[in-house]
Amino acid sequence: MSEAVSALEGATFEGFCTLRDAGPVGMVTIRGDLGAKGFAKAVKDATGCGLPHPRGIVTAGGRRLAWMSPDELLLICEHGEAPALAAGLAEALKGQHALALDVSDARAMLRLEGAGCREVIAKLSPANLAPGAFGPGEMRRTRLAQVAGAFYMPDETSFEIFVFRSVARYAFDLIANAARPGSEVGLFAPAP
């Protein structure tokens, strides 16, 4: 078995925020009728996570389950457990018009940490990132400059950002540039 490596192999950047490649992360896409009878229970039994609200993300036992669209969820887990979870979900959802697939290697996850992290992402995305409009517990699929991306805030001072693996380098350079020292805007919080 070949050894899994993340797209940027642990690249880091130190600006007014710290950006790093989050390493291999397990991701399982679940599609189906989220309101169907037995769907929520099947997902809960297989993953330990309850269904998130629209645009929400729930955390349980080291895994996260995010609402991606009215018929799609994304499970974020350890890289090694993704194939087994996908298989378990497929088994649990048997009989339903649903699908669970391990997509860990299709995407890259970047982690951005620092007090000014909202600002960095706000430079690149049309999403409203003002405190109160967006915060922990919410998953936002949007655009980062020229590529599609999604992000959520594990806490007030960090973001975890998902992009397609093929554009990981572009996204990394883009965010690193937006986090360059001296480029603080101070829109959401006074510049340090």
Partner 1 sequence: MLILECPCCGVMADETELAPGGEAHLTRVGPEGSDADFESYLFDRKNPKGVHFERWRHAAGCGKWFHAARSTVTLEVFGTYPAQVTEPPKALLATIAKKVPGWEGWQ
User: Which residues bind to partner 1, rule: CB under 8 A?
Assistant: 54-55, 68-70, 72, 126-128, 140-143, 148
Smaller CB separation from partner 1, 46 or 108:
108
Burial class (CB within 10 angstroms; exposed 0-12, middle 13-18, buried 19+) of 15: buried
The secondary structure of residue 127, as a DSSP letter, is: S
Smaller CB separation from partner 1, 79 or 165:
165
Minimum distance from CB of 191 to partner 1 (Å)? Answer: 25
Give yes or no for a contact between 63 and 49, defined as CB atoms under 8 angstroms apart: yes
Smaller CB separation from partner 1, 68 or 76:
68
Minimum distance from CB of 97 to partner 1 (Å)? Answer: 17
Minimum distance from CB of 4 to partner 1 (Å)? Answer: 27
Smaller CB separation from partner 1, 68 or 110:
68
Smaller CB separation from partner 1, 4 or 127:
127
Minimum distance from CB of 70 to partner 1 (Å)? Answer: 5
Give yes or no for a contact between 125 and 105, defined as CB atoms under 8 angstroms apart: no
Q: Cα dist. 39→96, 142, 192 in Å?
A: 8, 27, 47
Give yes or no for a contact between 171 and 163, defined as CB atoms under 8 angstroms apart: yes
Looking at 48-167, list the stretches that DSSP marks H as alpha helix, in order from N- to C-terminal side. 82-92, 117-122
Minimum distance from CB of 58 to partner 1 (Å)? Answer: 17
